[in-house]
């Protein structure tokens, strides 16, 4: 029997609240967040049982302490938000984060190198971080707002060759964030062994569901409570 491809914008049956929560990385990355706001964000993540908290590097020890035993992973960022630090610095950031309790890393690839077509350097930069933290989840941010479709494809291919677990759309700090078109392109480019994370501007349940239908399986969001509460209301 021939499979039927859903039309653009199609959203299948609503996922369960618990299943959707485990697709969300609750983002605590804004530079102005206070310690109290970080603590409140970790409490919210534990209450809703999301996949992880993505905390600023300086907050990893605090997040690891607050989330110990909750089932919520601690993640952080590497080379954030521009991807322009040296590979050695990215590896050092990754090692420190892991030592302090992080179990997932969202690294920004070398955007300028990708735009220059230096794919071996981009791939080597990613691979160095992946190999520094064996067994941990590494998500590689392309920052699609700055890339052509050809560059997005090349970036995804570098991510896959380097052995990362996810290719990610955006940091949330560029001019634009996740789009359905980008997620579809990334999903079509990547093999089944690499997942797609959408982030940047995801503020409603409908946005998340549309991106999920396009192929994303993990989502970075600050509007976690509103999204999950809306799903619970509809369910």
Active-site amino acid positions: 106, 168, 197
Show contacts of 183-186: CB within 8 Å, 24+ apart.
183/211, 183/214, 183/215, 183/216, 184/214, 184/215, 185/149, 185/152, 185/153, 186/142, 186/152, 186/156, 186/215
How far is C-alpha 50 from the chain's CA centre? 13
Q: What are the backbone angles phi and psi of residue 108, rounded to the nearest 5°?
A: -95, 125
**Spatial distance between the Cα atoms of 224 and 52, rounded to a whole number of angstroms:** 11
Helix or strand run (H / E) with residue 175: none
Q: What is the DSSP letter of 79?
A: S
Single out the residue of 129, 151, 143 nearest to residue 82, CA to CA. Answer: 143
Three-class secondary structure of residue 151 per DSSP: helix
Single out the residue of 197, 208, 15, 14 nearest to residue 106, CA to CA. Answer: 197
């Amino acid at each position: 029997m021939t499979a039927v491809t859903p039309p653009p914008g199609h959203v299948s049956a609503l996922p369960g609240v618990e299943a959707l929560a485990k697709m969300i990385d609750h983002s605590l990355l804004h530079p102005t967040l206070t310690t109290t706001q970080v603590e409140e964000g970790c409490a919210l993540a534990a209450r809703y049982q999301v996949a992880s908290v993505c905390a600023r590097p300086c907050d990893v020890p605090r997040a690891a302490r607050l989330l110990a035993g909750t089932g919520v992973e601690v993640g952080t960022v590497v080379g954030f938000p521009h991807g322009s630090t040296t590979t050695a610095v990215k590896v050092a950031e990754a090692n420190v984060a892991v030592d302090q309790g992080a179990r997932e890393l969202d690294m920004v690839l070398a955007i300028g190198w990708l735009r220059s077509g230096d794919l071996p350097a981009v791939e080597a930069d990613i691979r160095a971080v992946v190999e520094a933290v064996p067994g941990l989840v590494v998500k590689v941010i392309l920052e699609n707002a700055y890339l052509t479709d050809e560059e997005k494809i090349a970036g995804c291919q570098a991510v896959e060759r380097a052995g990362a677990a996810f290719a990610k759309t955006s940091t949330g700090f560029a001019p634009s964030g996740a789009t359905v078109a980008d997620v579809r392109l990334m999903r079509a480019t990547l093999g089944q062994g690499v997942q797609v994370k959408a982030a940047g501007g995801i503020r409603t349940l409908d946005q998340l569901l549309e991106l999920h239908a396009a192929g994303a399986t993990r989502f970075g969001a600050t509007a976690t409570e509103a999204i999950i509460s809306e799903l619970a209301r509809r369910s």
